Structure 1
Amino acid sequence: MLKTIDPALNADVLHALRAMGHGDRLVICDTNFPADSIARQTRLGHLLRIDNVTAARAARAVLSLLPLDTFVDDAAVRMEIVGAPDEVPDVQQEVQGEIDRAEGRRWPLVGVERHAFYARAKEAYCVIATGERRFYGCFLFTKGVIAPDAE
């Protein structure tokens, strides 16, 4: 246990978050996502886990340290529901709340078609699997920057 670091974040996830650079993306996914096979195709090359938590709880932990990228319109992405792309299920609304809380303002959560989401996930830095059992609990976040302290 470390002060000010969310206890849901394990050493492997902390290492990946620290290693990521501006513009790198990470996936937070549910239990049905092909996490291992996609993770093998990412920059990191292996799957990370935050077990036994919801996608929203994992997002809260990750976003407590990871700034979202303000230079792109899709720094926060959700997988769209097949056949109902405009529908936003509870799991996605909960993650939206965590994003807004972390950023201190309403932040757009952009929908992406399922297969396009898989393609983007393969290009991510890493994949973090959660214990989320609800469908469509899959998200992509793009790492932003932390501005220097004012002098």
Structure 2
Amino acid sequence: MLKGIPSILSPELVKILMEMGHGDEIVLADAHFPAASHTNCLIRSDGTAIPELLEAILKLFPLDDYVSAPLILMKVVPGDDVETPIWQVYQKKVGSYSFEHVERFEFYQRAKQAYAIIATSEKAQYANLIIKKGVVKEEELR
């Protein structure tokens, strides 16, 4: 156990976050996402909801300030009558950072290129989220 690391983050996940460099992406996948077939680096976070996991990760992980939108969501498929209130929850967690919305199969392709996918038990539809790592600034290391 270490001080300052949220207990929701497993040792395996902390290791992955440490390994990632500026610009690397990680997927927070909901329970509906085909996570295992889309990555060689799957981290299970069963029993976890994405908003709580996102909040914990952001305590250690800066978002990329060099892109206009360091957070990526899957667009609702046309004709799919789904509400996405979880997106507003995410916005509250990330403050002024912007989201990019990409088409479903583009999201899948991007997920395949991600550093890792974290499979959660999140039940909300369209809850999948890709986050892009930023630079840890020197003053943050003190």
TM, length-normalised to structure 1 = 0.85
Residue 71 of structure 2 aligns with an amino acid whose one-letter code is A
Offset at residue 15 of structure 1 (A): 0.4
Q: Distance in 1 between matches of 2:97 and 2:41?
A: 29
Offset at residue 76 of structure 1 (A): 0.7
Query: Which residue does 1:142 correspond to in 2?
Result: 132
Query: Which residue does 1:56 correspond to in 2?
Result: 51
Q: Distance in 2 between matches of 1:50 and 1:6?
A: 13
Offset at residue 146 of structure 1 (A): 1.5
Correspondence for 1:72 among 67, 71, 95: 67
Q: Distance in 2 between matches of 1:149 and 1:3?
A: 19
Q: Distance in 2 between matches of 1:121 and 1:74?
A: 16
CA contact (8 A) 2:41 2:115 kept: no
Q: Distance in 2 between matches of 1:73 and 1:142?
A: 11
Q: Deviations over 1:86-124 (max 9, x none)?
A: x87111211221112xxxxx1111211111000111111
Q: Distance in 2 between matches of 1:143 and 1:93?
A: 21
CA-based RMSD: 1.9
Find runs of 4+ consecutive structure 1 residues off by over 6 angstroms.
none
Residue 15 of structure 1 aligns with an amino acid whose one-letter code is K
CA contact (8 A) 1:55 1:91 kept: no
TM, length-normalised to structure 2 = 0.90
Equivalenced residues, count? 139
CA contact (8 A) 1:68 1:144 kept: yes
Offset at residue 84 of structure 1 (A): 6.8
Correspondence for 1:97 among 74, 79, 92: 92
Offset at residue 74 of structure 1 (A): 2.6
Q: Does 1:130 align with 2:130?
A: no
Q: Where do 5+ consecutive residues of structure 1 fail to align?
A: 40-44, 101-105
Q: Where do 5+ consecutive residues of structure 2 fail to align?
A: none
Q: Does 1:118 align with 2:105?
A: no
Q: Distance in 2 between matches of 1:67 and 1:84?
A: 35
